[in-house]
Structures are given as C-alpha cells and as structure tokens.
Amino acid sequence: MNSPRNDGDPVKEIAGVMRLKEGEEAVRRVLTQIFRAGKIGTKDLAKAARLPIPVTAAIRRELEKAGLVARRGGAILTEKGSEYVTQTLGVTLGSQETETEIDQDLEVLENLRKYSLKRPPASPELDQAHATPETALKRVQYMQRRGDLDGRRLLFLGDDDLTSVAAGFLGTPREIGVIDVDERLLELIGEASKTEGLGIECVHHDLRDPLPESMLGRFDVFFTDPPYTVNGVKLFLSRGLQALRPRKVSNIYVAYADKPPLEMLELHRAITDMGMYISELTPGFNTYEGAEIFANTTSQMRLTVTARSKPTITGTYSSHIYTGEAQPRMRVYRCKCGADVLVGPKQRFSSINELKTIGCPHCGARAGFTLKKRVNL
C-alpha cells in the first residue's frame, strides 16, 4: 500500500475527494481508457474519456497518488492499477482488434445463430421482432466499448433478440439478468445459459406489474428493445430505473423504431421527463428479421441516467403498451390456393410468421401468401 487512501475503493474515494459531477464513472472511464491505450497522453485521454482536460489531468494525478497510474511519457497503469482494472473493475477489452478477438467474435456469432434458429416465432402482439444474431453481437460490443459490459451487472428488459446470450458468450459481465413475459423465450435463454455455462438469471414477469423485490437497485446497466409505443417505453424505462443501483450517472441502452414526428417528440419528452438524456443515437443500428412495419431497422440510443432520474410509472400499469393494443390491426393474406386468411390479434394466426409455420388452413401451404388488405380495428 503506497497511501492510506487505498484502504477503501480508490475509484470511489477519488470521486468523493474531487467532488466530481460525473461521480465514480469519470474515474472508471479514465482508468479504463489508460488500460485500453496502454500508454496515453492527457489530451487523448480526455478525449477518450469525454472529460475536460483539466478534470482528466486532476483525476490522473489522484490515480498516481493512489499508486494505480504512473507516467512514462504518458499515463500508464502500474501493476497494481492493472490488477485493479482487470480484477476489481472486471475490464478485459484491449486496445486492438487482435486476431484472437476476431476469431472469438466469429465463434460467438456461430453460437448465437444456433440459438437464434431455436427462437419461437416472434409474437407481434408483444411487439416482438427478432433482431439478427449479428445485431445482438454488435450491441454487446457497442456496450463493451462504452465501458458498460465488462465487470458490469447487466439487466435485459425483454430479450427476444437473445442479446443477453451474446453478452454471456463474451463472458465479461459480472452478472446478467433477463426479465421477460414470454416463457417460451426464457426457456430458450435458460437452456443456452445452462448448456454454455453463461450464468444468466431468467425471471418470468410482466413489466406492467412493479419489479420483483429481488431486482430492485441491483444493476449497473440495462438494455431494452421495448414495445414500440410511448407508453411502452415509459413503462420499460420506469421499471429499469428501479433496477439500477443509485449512482450519479449510469448508461442505459434502448432500441427504438422511427415513428412519425409528433410521436417521436412525445417519446423524447417522456425521456427528459424521467430525468434522462440522450448521449448517443445511431439510426439504423439494429436489423431485424422480417419486421416490415419499421423497415427492418431501429435506432440505437444510449441514454444517460442522472441523479435526478426517476420513474414516471411506479404502480401496476393498465394502459396499452403494445402497438397492437394501441392500434389493433388485422391483415388479410391470400394463399396461392385462393383462400383468404385473417392474421392479427385474437385470430387463429397472430402473425404471418405463424401462418407460415403452421400452414394455410385450406391447403396446408407454408409459402406463397400475398398481403391483400390491412384493416384497422
């Protein structure tokens, strides 16, 4: 021990001493970026950690005092610093895409594809749409680069995309939880977790009900691809906020489809009303299998949760949250045999995928359907 300060957690202590507005996240970001770079100058470090240069320099000085960082023509981690970053923070990502890493990605992708094929057909009445395995992997890599995967307690609110499984395959989160209302899906994720040793905790729960006690205040980060309605987002984000550990800042990750302008405005107002803001938004980030209503892609948002964030929904929620509820819609498909088949909520076939899986009730065909009409109910 070089300094008495090291008896506690140095990241927490430095954040406290420096009264940093970003809290311990800022110190973690600086440490992680030094780890990734190997050696890095203060200017580049500030840029990578997204902090002002004077703040970055001051954090670096405190980390030096704590014996975690040294200067050798740039900031480097000491042995103790490396140990802290890899053991205590649980960070693993290096600076370079090495060949080993690329090989590992390909292996993960192959495994993901295997489990993706086993997914039950998407339930459009739950606003499910299966993201591609490539998207699931891309998401966890995106979170990893932003410091929100390695060593983190990670929650997925709904996961028909198997993003939790992708996170499990990377093997770097401290903890992975999944809450879903769809038992078929939890069974598959549970099976993958057991077979592959991913340690994913699956909880069957309808988010219209308040979060189970065991999930409250427990996670560092959450990911959700929520129902595509403003109410759905409000509800999922409200529940998610209650699952987070109280901190000055945390990131959460939300996928959302392009909707007409006034609906988007309402959504964004709901986000700022909850005391969160958008730190990054990438259109067309997520790709889905056959989700024609939103042109097969959604945007990926990274939201920052602040000390002022709070859920706008706390009790049991009884309004509509799914697109199908808010605007029930039926489709008429014509089979190549000539028969018209109704597809939609409360029909024998809730989706075209289901119709294709089960087959035309008249001739049994599993392909060759043409959309003839949409009916708003």
Which residues are near a second copy by CB under 8 A? 21-22, 43, 46-47, 50-54, 56, 248-249, 258, 260-262, 264-265, 267-269, 271-272, 275-284, 292-297, 304, 306-308, 374
Query: Pairing mode, if any, of strands 221-224 and 249-256?
Result: parallel
CA 212 – CA 217 distance, rounded (Å): 11
Q: What is the rounded distance in angstroms from the CA atom of residue 45 to the CA atom of residue 179?
A: 37
Residue 374 pairs in a beta bridge with 331
Enter the tokens of residue 64: 């030096």
Between 24 and 159, whose beta carbon lies closer to a second copy? Answer: 24
Pick 72 or 308: Cβ nearer a second copy: 308
Q: What is the dihedral of CA 114, 116, 121, 125, to 10 degrees?
A: 170
Nearest approach, Cβ of residue 288 and a second copy (Å): 11
Q: Considering the complex, state which of residue 136 and residue 305 has its C-beta at the smaller distance from a second copy.
A: 305
At 66, is the secondary structure helix, strand, or coil? coil
Q: Which is nearer to a second copy, 117 or 262 (CB)?
A: 262
The distance of closest approach from Cβ of residue 97 to a second copy in the complex, given in angstroms and rounded to an integer, is 19
What single letter denotes the amino acid at residue 312?
A: T
| Separation between Cα atoms, residue 60 and residue 285, nearest integer Å | 34
| β partners of residue 363 | none
Shortest CB 134 distance to a second copy, Å:
15
Helices within the chain (DSSP H only) = 10-18, 24-37, 42-49, 53-65, 79-83, 99-117, 133-145, 163-170, 183-196, 230-243, 261-273, 323-326, 352-358
- Give min distance, CB of 334 to a second copy, in A: 17
Please give the backbone phi and psi of residue 248, each rounded to the nearest 5 degrees, phi first: -70, -40
Question: Of 102 and 307, which has the nearer Cβ to a second copy?
Answer: 307
Nearer to a second copy by C-beta: 262 or 367?
262
CB 225, CB 298: distance < 8 Å: yes
Q: Which of 211, 110, 220, 127 is nearest to 165 (CA)?
A: 110
Residue 33 CB, shortest distance to a second copy, in Å, is 12
**CB 249 → a second copy: shortest distance, Å?**
5
Element spanning 297, H or E = strand 297-306
CB of 269 to a second copy, least distance (A): 5
Question: Among residues 1 and 262, whose Cβ is nearest to a second copy?
Answer: 262
Q: Give least dist CB 139 to a second copy, A.
A: 17
Between 16 and 275, name the residue whose CB sits nearer to a second copy: 275
- Please state, in angstroms and rounded to a whole number, the distance separating the CA atoms of residues 329 and 342: 11
**CA dihedral over 109, 179, 198, 35, signed as positive or negative:** positive
